[in-house]
Amino acid sequence: MAIKQVIHIYHRRGFTVQNLHGDRQFEHIKKHFSDAGITINVTGRIEHVPAIERTIRTIKEQIQAIVNELPFKAFPHRLIVEMVYNVTFWLNSFPHNDSVHEVMSPRTILTCLHIDHDKHCKLEFGSYVQINEEHDNLMTARTLGAISLRPTGNTQGTHYFLSINSGRWVTCNNWTALLMPN
């Protein structure tokens, strides 16, 4: 269960999760957390959790900004999912005003990894790149076209890409960005 994985990450960094807030869809998981001492507060039928609703609104606004910058008319499902991951990655990469720490980002607090501008901020979401493929000495293409998705966040500066040929998700830290005319 994904919630248990997230709770484990928090526990590993010394945080104790005592409460989970959610809407009625979380009603069925109460029994899974009763032994762990975690209270699940489920809202009423028409109620919402304000902090969650505000975060969802912020993510949607950031995705709308990305969509309006991209030259595409249609978006494959995988690209829309990756937009959500990208926005969430960057929102968690900077300190929040109401965070538990003034200077450290939520990502840094939970992973101990910092963003390095020179490694992680080279590509925008949706940039067209040529990524280097594993190859032999034959005359086949050594690069393939891809769309930049986001950094993986590791210390090497690896990025996630969407392969144009296969539509698959690819990681690579050896790429060349191509400037597209407007």
Q: Whole-number mean pLDDT of the chain?
A: 86
Parallel, antiparallel or unpaired: strands 128-132 and 39-42: unpaired
Residue 55 pLDDT > 60: yes
How high is the pLDDT of residue 181?
43
Provide the whole-model pTM.
0.82
Instruction: Give mean pLDDT, residues 17-41.
Output: 87
Q: Is 182's pLDDT higher than 60? A: no
